[in-house]
Amino acid sequence: MVGKTLSAEKVAYILFLLNEKRINVTEIARKLKISRSSVYRDKNTGINYCKRPSKKCVNKGGRPRKLNKRNVRNLVRCLKLLRQREGNFTCKRLSKEAGIDCKNINIRTSIRRAMNKEGFKYLQARKKGVLRESDQRKRLSFAKKIKSQFSSNVWKEDINFFLDDVSFAYKRHPLDQGSSPKGLIWRKACEGLDYGCTAKGKKEGSGGKMVKLIVAISYNKGVIDCEQYEKMSGEFFKSYITIKFPALFKLAGKPHSKLWIQDGDPCQNSYAAKTALSEIGAELLSIPPRSPDINPIENLFNSIW
């Protein structure tokens, strides 16, 4: 008779036999002609359930939660504010901003679990400048410029190649160094390049071992150049433009255009570099500062970190 609904009188009678008469479960089940599981349900909860009790109704026991729903909402709100103002921060800093006393709670078991349940985790931040409101205004102006002065296929048909320099650092203990709080930030897994989710930083390897590459990619062509270098400077980039750029424009296969894109590296935007560009007739399409998501090569390198 598992799952049969019992009357309130019978439930009370079962509890009376258990608590007052001290009769065991087997004898009660035999006396009332019900299953032992029904007696156990009444013994543990005091309420008779149907076949499968709802998880919301079952009293699982244990201590009550230290953080209520209002605390969790406040934590999420403060988390987004801190990301805009400070970039990366710890659980202790978050709890202080939210006005939660850390003396009465355990940070690891309370705040971290609450944030993880909301989808936020302490993940590695992108090593780029923090995007501010002034940067967003520049991005909007850039978008209006692209829409008014170029075609909708400018990224595929008009831009010859995307250029960037990247460094790969040797890590003796990648797990320990990857989980270091210096480069971690509270964010969701899908927010790698979103507003407030990037942070300034420096890539350093154990023992100073690092390989530096300058890479150019073109739509429908893939990687059209990859060169290792020791130190980026204005003079080095000037010589790179003079020697490599004519061949890169031919490999890109867009003779009607001399457009190309790079980031805002000061060495790559020096006076010497601009002079070399003007000599070969190349036109740089400058993207707004702290906008790695606009440059496809940045997203490519993000997927292989």
Tens digit of pLDDT for each residue in 73-84?
Answer: 999 998 888 777
Residues 6+ apart with CB under 8 A from 88: 125, 181, 182, 183, 184, 185, 186, 199
* Angstrom distance (rounded) from CA 104 to CA 87: 27
CA distances from 3 to 14, 25, 61, 240, 275 (A): 16, 17, 23, 79, 85
Model pLDDT, residue 238: 93
Rounded to a whole number of angstroms, the distance between the first and last alpha carbons of the chain is 60
Q: Can you tell me the mean pLDDT for 58-69? A: 68
Tens digit of pLDDT for each residue in 150-198?
Answer: 888 888 889 999 998 887 766 655 654 554 455 667 778 777 666 656 6
Q: Residue 259 in 3-state DSSP?
A: strand
pLDDT at 88 over 70: no
Model pLDDT, residue 301: 66
H or E element that contains 143? helix 133-149
Could you tell me where the beta strands, DSSP code E, fall in 145-192?
Answer: 159-169, 184-187
β-bridge partners, 166: 213
Choose between 19 and 229: higher pLDDT.
Answer: 229
44-50 contact pairs (CB < 8 A, 24+): 46/11, 46/15, 47/11, 48/5, 48/6, 48/11, 50/3, 50/5
The mean pLDDT value of the chain amounts to 78
Percent of the chain residues topping a pLDDT of 70: 74
Choose between 216 and 304: higher pLDDT.
Answer: 216
